[in-house]
Amino acid sequence: MPKSIQLVMIVLLATRALSACAGGDDRVAAEHANDHEHPEAQSSGSADEVPLYDNLGEYHRSIDTDVALAQSYFDQGLRLQYAFNHAEAIRSYREAVRLDPACAMCWWGIALALGPNINAPMDSAAGAEAWSAITVAMGVSCRCSGKARAGSLRTLRKV
């Protein structure tokens, strides 16, 4: 099997396995019909600081983290990912990882955003980086319990 197909399969398996670690329910808030302005970022102005936007929608996916800001950056990463802004999604996921290095779903987000998408195929450099992120995700503790823990990251070890 070609290496690129193996990497895609790994990312897809990671999606399934790590979704067991994500607790809570999804919710999608109704978008405002007249919100056509560029988002204002909450930022102190540092060039290296990752902004946290307040008008990219309200989609939320609960993850296992005790760091509220990591949850916010993860949610922002998903919103940006769904908007096909993969580079900014990766920045958000990386900020979430910086805030909570033990957040498996934050590492998964990096791998997902590096994967192939409708705008670009997955190149070997992105594949290697995605594999690295998944490897870290497998190594960090999934703070789930019961069935979620049993079916989470261990699935990836079978690949």
Whether residue 84 contacts residue 117, with contact meaning beta carbons closer than 8 Å, is answered with: yes
Residue 123 forms part of a structural domain: yes
pLDDT of res. 34:
38
30 domain residue, yes or no: no
Helix (H) or strand (E) holding 52: strand 52-53
Is 46 within a domain? Answer: no
* Residue with more model confidence, 99 or 143: 99
Q: CB neighbours (10 Å) of residue 102?
A: 18
Task: Provide the pLDDT for residue 27.
Answer: 38
Position 83 in a domain: yes
- Look at the chain and report how many structural domains it folds into: 1
CATH of the domain at 14: 1.25.40
Q: What is the pLDDT of residue 10?
A: 61
Who wins on pLDDT, 81 or 148? Answer: 81
Q: What is the pLDDT of residues 83-130, one digit of tens each?
A: 999 999 999 999 999 999 999 999 999 999 999 888 888 888 998 999
Q: Between residues 21 and 7, which one has the greater pLDDT?
A: 7
Q: Is residue 73 scored above 80 in pLDDT?
A: yes
Q: Please report whether residue 61 resides in a domain.
A: yes
Q: Is 137's pLDDT higher than 80?
A: yes
Whether residue 29 lies inside any domain: the answer is no
Residue 50, in any domain of the structure:
no
Contact criterion met (CB below 8 Å) for 78 and 109: yes
pLDDT computed for residue 82 by the predictor: 93
For residue 64, the enclosing domain spans 3-24+55-158
The structure tokens listed for 132 are: 């690295």
What's the pLDDT at 24? 42
pLDDT of residue 67: 96
pLDDT of residue 9: 58
Judge whether 107 and 120 are in contact, CB under 8 Å: no
Q: Tell me: the pLDDT tens digits for 22-65?
A: 544 333 333 333 343 444 455 445 557 999 988 899 999 999 89
Establish if 69 belongs to a structural domain: yes
